[in-house]
């Protein structure tokens, strides 16, 4: 029997056009996303390639910290589980497996954001002690 390794290369271009400046990008925090609060096709893009089944979570998605679990979910002003307080934005795109429920990510909690360039609309909020985002 002969083993023949197969190599696949995937190049992704990060779309960070929503960043107004590089200020704060060197100070991101590590977080874990609770995928049950996000919608496929809106917050992450499922892979069209069955040989590479990973979905791509978009950068620039707003998140809030879920009080009970300590995980981060989609920021929603009408939420009552902690996500009603903006924690920041997912800084870099992340690949995730189809059934993955918890996904590691980087949180931009300090910096400037172009609201018109965000992948989903977010109303500007006043900076707080834990989230120092300036909206332009």
- Interacting residues of 66 by C-beta distance below 8 A, sequence separation 6+: 34, 37, 72, 73, 81, 82, 83
Residue 111 lies in a domain: yes
pLDDT in tens, the chain (136 residues): 677 776 766 665 678 999 999 999 999 999 999 999 998 878 888 888 777 788 889 999 999 999 999 999 999 988 999 999 999 999 999 998 888 999 999 999 999 999 999 998 887 787 777 789 999 9
Position 19 in a domain? no
- In a domain? residue 103: yes
CATH number, position 35: 2.40.300
What's the domain count of the chain? 1
Residue 17 within any structural domain of the chain: no
Residues of the domain holding 53: 29-135
In a domain, 47, yes or no: yes
Residue 65, in any domain of the structure: yes
Flag whether 6 is in a domain: no
Write out the two tokens for 121. Answer: 């609309």
């Amino acid at each position: 029997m002969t083993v023949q390794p197969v190599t696949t290369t995937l190049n992704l271009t990060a779309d960070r056009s929503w960043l107004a400046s590089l200020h704060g990008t060197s100070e991101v925090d590590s977080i874990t996303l609770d995928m049950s609060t996000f919608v496929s096709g809106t917050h992450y893009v499922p892979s069209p390639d069955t040989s590479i089944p990973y979905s791509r979570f978009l950068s620039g998605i707003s998140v809030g910290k879920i009080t009970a679990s300590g995980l981060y979910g989609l920021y929603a002003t009408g939420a009552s589980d902690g996500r009603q307080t903006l924690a920041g934005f997912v800084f870099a795109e992340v690949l995730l497996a189809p059934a993955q429920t918890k996904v590691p990510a980087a949180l931009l909690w300090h910096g400037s954001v172009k609201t018109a360039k965000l992948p989903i609309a977010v109303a500007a909020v006043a900076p707080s002690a834990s989230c120092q985002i300036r909206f332009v």
